[in-house]
Chains A and B, each alone.
Chain A
Amino acid sequence: MAVKATKSKSKRAPKAAKSNLQASGEELLQYYREMLMIRRFEEKAGQLYGMGLIGGFCHLYIGQEAVVVGMQAAVTDDDAVITSYRDHGHMLACGMDPRGVMAELTGRSGGYSHGKGGSMHMFSKEKNFFGGHGIVAAQVPLGTGVAFAHKYNKTKNVSLTYLGDGAINQGQVYESMNMAALWSLPVIYVIENNKYAMGTSQERASAGTELYMRGTAYGVPGEQIDGMDVVAVRAAAEMAVTHCRDGKGPFILEMMTYRYRGHSMSDPAKYRKREEVQKMRSERDPIEHVRQLLLDGGYADEDVLKQFGREVKDIVSDAAEFAQNSPEPDMSELWTDILVDA
């Protein structure tokens, strides 16, 4: 799947389409496995939610897996990631432990935040994952600040700052882009355009739906990418990362993607037709796409993929088991981590 042609009038970067649209069998297998892990994890989270083991809001990433897996394929462990509340996939892609993530969802002591953050608020300093943020678009200036620190510290690292098609309309996004462009900060704004912000379709919220062009006024280049194609995502990410590492400032990648589930677990999703979801699922599924590439290219046969499926399932089951058996946080946790001892 090629990168969609862009009509960007913004400062143009070399087209991703020409760069690296070939992936080796090994790479494809890795992406397949990572995407499958996210999907199975999310399905399990949905199930645990249904059993009352996960509370509150729980936003699943099912359908969007190629975005984060493709982006991660282009960065190193020292690069930073920050996103919204729809964050489980990002955490797994950053290499965070599925047990710790699932146990945070169930609010247990074994969770990344000892049960004090929940689905929307998880962090891993070790993995350079900066959250998990519940206020729409708050992660955008925060991620820009992470990039500011990269520059201040004179490292070559980048900050992958994810936001939604709804978040893009927040004022702080433009405040951030302006500063990022002004100071040439190494931040990639990854817009995950899944067509809806809760029940509001992109058309009903955004005047001008070419979101990759939202940086035009600041001279921030942007590209629109097929976010259901992990290889296209990776190619675009490589281009944007190079741009940032070369000191050329921020980049916008608009990933055209889709979420299969409701906005959160309690959303009946009446604002779209079942056929629309079904069509996406059957024709554009990012995991199925890679599966076909693997089979067609002769990189793997059904048995190998089945084996992958079993392995992933075991990891997810183990995480779920852990998340249910991990004790609730000790009452003393109420009063810890409010302030660091000076």
Chain B
Amino acid sequence: MPIQVLMPALSPTMTEGTLAKWLKSEGDAVSSGDVIAEIETDKATMEVEAVDEGIIGKLLVAEGTEGVAVNSPIAVLLADGEDASAADVAAPAAPAPVAESPVAAEPAAAAGPAPVQSIAAEPEWTGATVTQTLRESLRDGMAEEMRRDEKVFLIGEEVAQYEGAYKVSQGLLEEFGAERVIDTPITEHGFAGLAVGAGFMGLRPVVEFMTFNFAMQAIDHIINSAAKTLYMSGGQMGCPIVFRGPNGPASRVGAQHSQCYASWYAHCPGLKVISPYSASDAKGLLKSAIRDPNPVIFLENELIYGNSFDVPEDDDYTVPIGKAKVLREGTDVTLIAHSIMVGRALEAADTLAGEGLSAEVIDLRTIRPLDLETIIESVKKTNRVVSCEEGWPFAGIGSEIAMIVMENAFDWLDAPVGRVAGLDIPMPYAANLEKAALPQAEHIVEAAKTACYRT
């Protein structure tokens, strides 16, 4: 069978081109890889190589012809023993079918984030508790999971011998040894990538970033390698990994060490993002994160590492990822917060109570997937919402909350959604400026009163 040589497309957008030059004539033998012609597009001149071997039976398009459509036959190639008459038969009148352009995807359901099933909250804990700092609870969470599963290991700067820059990994090296508690060089990009590779192999790395500010150097591996590989591999290769460490404004350390990354990571499908407040939630969620088969970002807060909470005495106690918690019930306004802002929201609720306003306080605990159910249920009760975060306002967590409340409970709203956030500036160093840049309980009180039309 004679073979047709078709006008090739040299880029996905090319539809036609000029056949500038033939480098072979009728009767010439060609083998795979031989350059047979040059074609020009508006952008470049390129060579056309033979894919098949044979003898040029006929050149169908003359040199210099412009506007030759992609996929139309330009020459006929004869196999051994075929003669030129076969070429005539092969030259078709109709152009070869053009490759179907990809079917346009139906618009993805509402443009909102992927649908989430409702997640059951953890059962109320009625057993014994122990008073622990957030720091200790995180350490215990890791230690218990490391005892439970040999594939779990901790890797990061100063995690082993120094026991953590913020002393979160105290005692882990002693218990688990240097094979499972690994001090790295200062090389975030490298060790994050290395841990993801180990995750592809089925290990369960817990990567500690000294703070999340330094994870910026590793963000390529967090997003491009960890979050996307499951999808790009059609479900074959996942990455069970936890990236954890202090996040958010610290104290008097200036702009490069004081920033909240919640909305950065929450933006990305393929990641789960957790940002707890209490020690019991932190421990229960960290354990769930380590057991989770997906990449999880676990955002802690250095300023509350020393805060004490009651923590269930049970080394199998976990808190489900994706479930918020109503910490205080109220009827007039819903305050939605995470991490350190939860404390300030609770403080604000006390103040508001003194002024006759009943505030409900929701601790998001998980940022992605966001617990829509708990938020919407609360809004339907209070009809007013204030979101509270330390991050920058633009495209922040508050922006997302406002949007989902509007999408899901517009008719229940009695006032615009209020937003309390960090100022839209790099964090200043001076004590007075830093204080002014950070959202405090009084800002939440103000915003709640505005939402209740009480100013």
Q: What is A's interface to B at a CB cutoff of 8 Å?
A: 39-40, 43-44, 46-47, 49-53, 55-56, 62, 80, 82, 107, 111-117, 121-125, 130-135, 138, 140-150, 152-153, 171-172, 175-176, 178-179, 182, 260, 262, 265-266, 268, 270, 281, 328, 331, 334-342
Q: What is B's interface to A at a CB cutoff of 8 Å?
A: 6-12, 32-33, 43-46, 48-49, 51, 70-71, 98-99, 101-103, 105-106, 108, 114, 153, 179, 184-185, 187, 189-203, 220-221, 224-225, 229-238, 269-270, 272, 288, 291-294, 321
| Minimum CB–CB distance for A190 against chain B, Å | 16
B12-A113 in contact (CB<8A): no
What residues on B are CB-neighbors of A134 within 8 Å?
224
- A112 to B234: give the CA distance in the assembly, Å: 7
B197-A179 in contact (CB<8A): no
Evaluate whether A331 and B200 lie within 8 angstroms (CB atoms) in the complex, with A50-B10, A114-B234, A342-B291 already known.
Answer: no
- A250 to B193: give the CA distance in the assembly, Å: 17
Neighbour of A142 across the interface among B99, B200, B231, B291, CB < 8 A = B200
B185-A175 in contact (CB<8A): yes
14 pairs of residues in contact across A and B, judged by CB atoms under 8 Å = A43-B32, A50-B9, A51-B70, A123-B229, A131-B237, A135-B224, A141-B221, A142-B200, A142-B225, A144-B193, A149-B203, A338-B231, A339-B294, A341-B293
A172-B8 in contact (CB<8A): no
The residue of chain B having its C-beta at the shortest distance from the C-beta of A329 within the complex is: B234
A51-B9 in contact (CB<8A): yes
| Minimum CB–CB distance for B84 against chain A, Å | 24
Neighbour of B198 across the interface among A124, A146, A338, CB < 8 A = A146
Q: Which one of B12, B197, B225 has the highest number of Cβ atoms from chain A below 10 Å of its Cβ?
A: B197
| Minimum CB–CB distance for A113 against chain B, Å | 4
| Minimum CB–CB distance for A183 against chain B, Å | 8
The residue of chain B having its C-beta at the shortest distance from the C-beta of A138 within the complex is: B225
What residues on B are CB-neighbors of A149 within 8 Å?
197-198, 200-203
Q: Which one of B6, B33, B70 has the highest number of Cβ atoms from chain A below 10 Å of its Cβ?
A: B33
What residues on B are CB-neighbors of A182 within 8 Å?
185
The residue of chain B having its C-beta at the shortest distance from the C-beta of A143 within the complex is: B197
Neighbour of B238 across the interface among A39, A138, A145, A340, CB < 8 A = A340
- A70 to B292: give the CA distance in the assembly, Å: 39
- A268 to B194: give the CA distance in the assembly, Å: 36
The residue of chain A having its C-beta at the shortest distance from the C-beta of B199 within the complex is: A145
- A40 to B31: give the CA distance in the assembly, Å: 12
| Minimum CB–CB distance for B221 against chain A, Å | 7
A145-B196 in contact (CB<8A): yes
What residues on A are CB-neighbors of B190 within 8 Å?
141, 144, 172, 175-176, 178-179
- A234 to B350: give the CA distance in the assembly, Å: 73
What residues on A are CB-neighbors of B224 within 8 Å?
134-135, 138
Beyond known contacts A43-B32, A149-B197: 5 more, CB 8 A cutoff: A43-B33, A44-B51, A141-B221, A268-B10, A268-B45
B220-A51 in contact (CB<8A): no
Evaluate whether A124 and B236 lie within 8 angstroms (CB atoms) in the complex, with A265-B10, A342-B291 already known.
Answer: yes
| Minimum CB–CB distance for B184 against chain A, Å | 7
The residue of chain A having its C-beta at the shortest distance from the C-beta of B99 within the complex is: A52
Evaluate whether A141 and B197 lie within 8 angstroms (CB atoms) in the complex, with A175-B191, A339-B270 already known.
Answer: yes
- A131 to B199: give the CA distance in the assembly, Å: 14
Q: Which one of B108, B179, B229 has the highest number of Cβ atoms from chain A below 10 Å of its Cβ?
A: B229
What residues on B are CB-neighbors of A121 within 8 Å?
232-233
A342-B292 in contact (CB<8A): yes
What residues on B are CB-neighbors of A178 within 8 Å?
185, 187, 190
The residue of chain A having its C-beta at the shortest distance from the C-beta of B233 within the complex is: A123
The residue of chain A having its C-beta at the shortest distance from the C-beta of B101 within the complex is: A52
| Minimum CB–CB distance for B10 against chain A, Å | 6
A46-B51 in contact (CB<8A): yes
- A141 to B197: give the CA distance in the assembly, Å: 7
What residues on B are CB-neighbors of A336 within 8 Å?
235
What residues on B are CB-neighbors of A337 within 8 Å?
230-231, 233-235
- A328 to B102: give the CA distance in the assembly, Å: 9
| Minimum CB–CB distance for A169 against chain B, Å | 14
What residues on A are CB-neighbors of B294 within 8 Å?
339-340, 342
- A55 to B49: give the CA distance in the assembly, Å: 19
Neighbour of B194 across the interface among A82, A107, A179, A335, CB < 8 A = A179
What residues on A are CB-neighbors of B291 within 8 Å?
342
- A176 to B184: give the CA distance in the assembly, Å: 11
- A46 to B237: give the CA distance in the assembly, Å: 28
- A149 to B108: give the CA distance in the assembly, Å: 38
- A75 to B97: give the CA distance in the assembly, Å: 44
B231-A116 in contact (CB<8A): yes
B194-A145 in contact (CB<8A): yes
Evaluate whether A52 and B51 lie within 8 angstroms (CB atoms) in the complex, with A138-B193, A340-B294 already known.
Answer: no
- A83 to B185: give the CA distance in the assembly, Å: 24
Neighbour of B33 across the interface among A152, A270, A281, CB < 8 A = A281
- A220 to B209: give the CA distance in the assembly, Å: 27
A141-B192 in contact (CB<8A): yes
A266-B49 in contact (CB<8A): no
- A147 to B294: give the CA distance in the assembly, Å: 21
- A47 to B230: give the CA distance in the assembly, Å: 30
Q: Which one of A51, A124, A132, A133 has the highest number of Cβ atoms from chain B below 10 Å of its Cβ?
A: A51
A123-B237 in contact (CB<8A): yes
- A141 to B207: give the CA distance in the assembly, Å: 14
B9-A339 in contact (CB<8A): no
The residue of chain B having its C-beta at the shortest distance from the C-beta of A172 within the complex is: B189
| Minimum CB–CB distance for A181 against chain B, Å | 11
| Minimum CB–CB distance for B95 against chain A, Å | 12
B195-A145 in contact (CB<8A): yes
A117-B234 in contact (CB<8A): yes
| Minimum CB–CB distance for B191 against chain A, Å | 7
The residue of chain A having its C-beta at the shortest distance from the C-beta of B270 within the complex is: A338
The residue of chain B having its C-beta at the shortest distance from the C-beta of A337 within the complex is: B235
A113-B236 in contact (CB<8A): yes
B269-A338 in contact (CB<8A): yes
What residues on B are CB-neighbors of A341 within 8 Å?
293
Neighbour of A43 across the interface among B51, B98, B237, CB < 8 A = B51
Evaluate whether A142 and B197 lie within 8 angstroms (CB atoms) in the complex, with A135-B220, A338-B231, A340-B238 already known.
Answer: yes
